[in-house]
Structure 1
Amino acid sequence: MKTTTAALLGLLAASVSHAEMTLSSPDVADGGKLSKQQEYKGFGCDGGNQSPALEWRGAPEGTKSFAITAYDPDAPTGSGWWHWQVINVPAGVNKLERNAGVENSTALPKGALQVETDYGSAAFGGACPPAGDKPHRYQFKVYALGVEKIDLPSDSSNALVGYYIHANMLDRAVIEATYQR
C-alpha cells in the first residue's frame, strides 16, 4: 500500500510541476472565426492580411526558443497550406504584437526569422479559402523548443522547417479558428 501511495504522490507531483502551455489572442478566439483583418490581400481576397496578436504562457523548463506557425489543413492542395512560420523567437519572449508578421518586420524580436509561406513570401499570409468552400480551419501554434536556434534560411521548405520544429519540440499550444468566404 505504501508503494502504491508513494507512486501516486510522485505522479501527482510531476503533473503539478509542469503547467500546461497555453496560447491566447485578443484577435482570434479558440473555436471562433477569423475576422476580415486576418484575411489575405490577393488571390481574390481583399482582407487586412494582419497577423493576430499572440501571447503564450507555461513553457516547460529547458525552453530555449519558440516557433510560431499558422496552417490550414483544409486547403485543397492535398497537403494543406502554410500561412506563417516564425522560428528562433528567444525564450524570454512570450508574445507577438498584432501585425508583427509583415514582410521585413521590425516588430519581431531580435533573432526571429520568418520563413516563406505557401504564398511565396517570408511573412504572414492570411486566410483565403476558395469562395463558396466549406469553412476552413486555421491552426495557430506556438512551440517551445529545446534549441536556441534552428539554423535554416528563410527560403527553406515548410516541410523542412516542420521537421526541425518537431524534432526539437518540448511542448506546444494551439488556437484553432475557422474562416469562410
Structure 2
Amino acid sequence: MKLRSDSFDNGARLDPRFAFGAPGGGEGGNRNPHLAWGDAPAGTRSYALLCLDPDAPTDMSLAGRDDVQIPVEHPRREFVHWAMADIPAAVTGIAEGAASDGTAAKGRTSVPGPEGARQGLNGYTASPGGQGDQDGDRWGYDGPQPPPNDLRPHRYFFRVFALDVERLDLPERFSAAEVLRMVQGHVLAETAIYGTYALNPDVRA
C-alpha cells in the first residue's frame, strides 16, 4: 500500500498554508494537504486516517515563553491533528483544502470530507490554556502550531490504514486513541508519510 502527496514531499517541510500557526505569530492557512493512496490489499472495506505529531512538549507551560527555549531533549508526547474513520473503500484520496480551509472560531460544528466518513476530535480540543477565540470542540484537521521557542523540529505523520470492516465501533465524539484501539485486529495494511514544521526561527525544519 502506498501513500503520496502533491502538497509536500515525504520528509520535507510543510508550507504554512497547511499550518494553524505561521512564522511571526500569525495564522497559517490551515488547509489540509492533498493525500492519495493506492495498492490496498484485496478485502479492504474502509480506511482510517490519522495525522500525529510525536514531538509535542510534555510541559506546555514552557510554550511561547520569551525567557526559555524548549531543549531538543525535553520529554515529548503525541499530539493529534486529524482523525478520520469509515472512509469508504472507493475513496483513494483527499484534495488539498477539501477537509479544512482556514480556522473557525469556537471550533467547527460540521466538517467536510468524503461522504460516509466520520471525523473525530483533534488535540486542540483539550489544549492547555485553550486557543482564545478558537476554544471549543475541534473536529477534523487542524494543522501545525509548534511552540515558537521549541528547538526541536516537529514531524507530522499522516497514516492511512486499510481495514477489513466498513465501520468502526466508535462513539459519535471519538479521538485518535479510540481509532487506534478499534482498528486492532482489522488492519490489512498501513502506510505513512510525514512532513516537518517549526515556528522557531533558529530551527531548520
Which TM-score bucket, shorter chain as reference?
0.7 to 0.9
Q: Which structure 2 segments of 5+ residues have no match?
A: 59-75, 101-107, 126-137, 200-205
Report the Cα offset of residue 100 of structure 1.
Answer: 2.4
Report the Cα offset of residue 101 of structure 1.
Answer: 2.3
1:173 maps to 191
Which of these residues, 78, 100, 108, is aligned with residue 98 of structure 2? 100
- TM normalised by structure 1 equals 0.82
1:138 maps to 156
2:181 maps to 163
Identity %: 37
Report the Cα offset of residue 45 of structure 1.
Answer: 5.3
* Aligned mates of 1:48, 1:141 — CA distance in 2: 22
Report the Cα offset of residue 92 of structure 1.
Answer: 0.8
Number of matched pairs: 159
Q: Any idea what the Cα deviations from partners look like across 1:99-131, whole Å, max 9, x if unmatched?
A: 22234234x221101100111211201011111
* Aligned mates of 2:11, 2:175 — CA distance in 1: 29
1:124 pairs with 2:141? yes
* Aligned mates of 2:4, 2:117 — CA distance in 1: 20
* Aligned mates of 1:73, 1:28 — CA distance in 2: 19
Residue 123 of structure 2 aligns to a residue whose secondary structure is coil
1:38 maps to 18
Q: Which structure has the highest helix share of the two? A: 1
**Contact 2:4 2:193 survives alignment (8 Å):** yes
* Aligned mates of 1:91, 1:39 — CA distance in 2: 28
Larger Rg over CA atoms: 1
* Aligned mates of 1:91, 1:177 — CA distance in 2: 25
1:72 pairs with 2:53? yes
* Aligned mates of 2:114, 2:120 — CA distance in 1: 15
List structure 1 runs of 4+ shifted beyond 4 angstroms.
none
* Aligned mates of 1:50, 1:105 — CA distance in 2: 12
Which of these residues, 23, 41, 45, is aligned with residue 3 of structure 2? 23
Report the Cα offset of residue 30 of structure 1.
Answer: 0.4
- TM normalised by structure 2 equals 0.72
RMSD between aligned alpha carbons? 1.7
